[in-house]
Chains A and B, each alone.
Chain A
Amino acid sequence: MDKFIRHTGVGVPLRYSNVDTDQIIPAVYLKRVSRTGFEDALFSAWRHDESFVLNHPSYRSGSVLVAGPDFGTGSSREHAVWALKDYGFKAVLSARFADIFRGNSGKQGLLTGELDQDDIERIWQVLEDAPGTEVTVDLEQREVRCAEIVAPMQVDDYTRWRLMEGLDDIGLTMRHIDEIADFEASRPSHKPRTLA
């Protein structure tokens, strides 16, 4: 996993709240068995609409998505994160994220930064007034900068550490394999097994 320290890229204002994972990537795309190539699927229903923000040439190369509250609700599909990443997004900013989506993002190196809704609104204003404006997401400083705005960003310590180190979860857990084996040795025997 690549390390994430800070990133600067075109900000995309997505003025919707409650963007659920069915909107981020509809279920029909979940049939694929590969891990990459989902960029065409991102927001596919909305992209048919010419006025949709990503269809605006100045936003097309966006890499920082600035969304309304409760982003990523609904299904646990990790494809939502792959689609955002494959499209080129490095970070999503919102006042509130759905838990599973946030967890999935952290694992894939997509930063989910929590900002006050007031700051989100100010950034939206800048991005809409001057499409193509860049946003800097600074994980080290835990802040977002856009034009004159400097907004504090919340990311929990552990996720921040892992993203900045670029560490993979399974590798981390494998360091404790003996403890897992000890735990298994004392599991009650009445717990069910799927194989005989």
Chain B
Amino acid sequence: MGKTLAEKVWDAHVVRRAEGAPDLLYIDLHLVHEVTSPQAFEGLRLAGRQVRRPDLTLATEDHNTPTLDIDKPIADLTSRTQIDTLRRNCEDFGIRLHPLGDTEQGIVHVVGPQLGLTQPGMTVVCGDSHTSTHGAFGALAFGIGTSEVEHVLATQTLPLRPFKTMAINVEGKLRPGTTSKDIILAVIAKIGTGGGQGYVLEYRGEAIRSLSMEARMTICNMSIEAGARAGMIAPDETTFEYVQGRPHAPKGKEWDAALEYWKSLRTDDDAEFDTEVTIDAEELEPYVTWGTNPGQGLPLSSAVPDPASFAGEAERAAAERALEYMDLRPGTPLREITVDTVFIGSCTNGRIEDLRAAAEIVKGRRKADDVRVLVVPGSDRVRLQAESEGLDKIFTEFGAEWRFAGCSMCLGMNPDQLSPGERSASTSNRNFEGRQGKGGRTHLVSPLVAAATGVRGTLSSPADLDPTPLPSRDHEH
């Protein structure tokens, strides 16, 4: 029987296989950030261990970093301590670090692919659950805990048990106004936040094939929200084109060798998945979440659900709790929900294409009066690229705040937070209670919905907007 993509990548990295023990898997790339690494380095020091392969390790500062006044010392003392600790650890152990203010600084999952360090067929880990992002390249990429970070630092391997495999077939074509974010929100709504547990998801089908690399990353990024460890997409021409020419892409003969190998990285026709799920892209509408987990999502045209309509008691109770926290009443059309803040950014939707898509919508418009709009590029390179295209101007003329790169309001570890009771439309990946600030309420949306929501002040899609008040982009003033 043939193998799935995930099995191929797995098998190519087994250092040691023994009866009854997990496989020992080799790790090609280890990404490090300030939050989940200090205790791992502390562990190394306590045990007198070294970093085995600093040349397969890369660190960046992202979770704690401010997005304003980045040239000043970080005001929050604990944040500053974490950053300082990372800097000292990288220095002591010889690890390459892109600190705040460096052109290559940014969210770890934006930086890896952008540098060409993420390539097909690799194993990629990071002490961060959204490492699944890198699976968009046909890499086996997953988040690990701090003990595992220490383990990888010390040995460049991880003991792991094989995952089960699930095919997510997304057939048909996306309609205008819908994006890869809507695909993944629909997938999670369908299989649930625990539906992917124990699985590596492989996204397949026409709709996936036609997505850009960045859109594919958005999908793989949120695999973890379906409970899966990893999500993967088989590499194809789109992937190869994206990688080629990047700073760390193979060159010359190496490129040819790599390409030949990468082309073998697809699920064999006679391979079997443990589970298959099919979604019709043509039927998708823009999705938004109404509750406090990413599986509690619905098409924007629907209304807040009635908890009584849920089948299981646990689901009912969860929905009730969610509605109470979100301060929503059953039957309210989602389009009538007013937000205080729009956040465009994160490792899910903070890439250049996301910013372009949002800018396209807000261009020539003014934001709704009472809405705060925060645009935070996923990396400093994304910021520079956006500025060279004039996107920053479009956003600021719209009334949005244009910031420096980082995780920002995705998790509110820096000063970018919701106040208690505030409601956001956010392009990030988690709508958990308090995720974006204590008492904050989050609706997960695509960049298009975020932008349109910024215009109207209520959850909206671009289709809800009046025609642009200004001439189209050919007649720029």
Chain A interface residues (CB < 8 Å from chain B): 17-18, 20, 22-23, 26-28, 30-35, 45, 68-70, 73-79, 81, 96, 98-100, 103-104, 107-108, 156-158, 169-170, 172-174, 176-177, 179-180, 183-184, 187-195
| B54 surroundings in chain A (CB, below 8 A) | 194-195
B15 lies within 8 A of A45 (CB): no
B20 lies within 8 A of A99 (CB): no
B55 lies within 8 A of A195 (CB): yes
A22 lies within 8 A of B129 (CB): no
Chain B residues 23-65 with CB under 8 Å of chain A are 24, 26, 28-29, 35-36, 38-39, 42-43, 47, 49, 52, 54-58, 63-64
B258 lies within 8 A of A195 (CB): no
| A78 surroundings in chain B (CB, below 8 A) | 36, 39, 127, 145-147
Chain B interface residues (CB < 8 Å from chain A): 15-16, 20-22, 24, 26, 28-29, 35-36, 38-39, 42-43, 47, 49, 52, 54-58, 63-64, 76, 78-79, 81-82, 85, 94, 96, 116-117, 119, 122, 127-129, 143-148, 150-151, 154-157, 159, 161, 193-194, 197-198, 227, 229, 248-250, 254-255, 257-258, 261, 293, 314, 317-318, 411-413, 430, 432-435, 438
In the complex, the chain A residue whose C-beta lies closest to that of B129 is A76
B258 lies within 8 A of A26 (CB): no
A190 lies within 8 A of B15 (CB): no
B36 lies within 8 A of A45 (CB): no
Some 6 contacts from A to B, beta carbons below 8 A apart, are A20-B293, A74-B129, A74-B432, A98-B227, A99-B229, A180-B15
Known contacts A158-B22, A180-B155; A104 and B147 CB within 8 A of each other: yes
CA distance A79 to B161 in the complex (A): 23
Known contacts A78-B146, A170-B154; A23 and B36 CB within 8 A of each other: no
B20 lies within 8 A of A192 (CB): no
Known contacts A99-B198, A176-B15; A192 and B36 CB within 8 A of each other: no
Known contacts A100-B229, A170-B155; A33 and B145 CB within 8 A of each other: no
Known contacts A76-B144, A190-B257, A194-B57; A31 and B78 CB within 8 A of each other: yes
In the complex, the chain A residue whose C-beta lies closest to that of B261 is A188
CA distance A184 to B13 in the complex (A): 10
B36 lies within 8 A of A76 (CB): yes
Among A22, A96, A158, A173, residue most surrounded by chain B Cβ atoms (within 10 Å): A173
B55 lies within 8 A of A193 (CB): yes
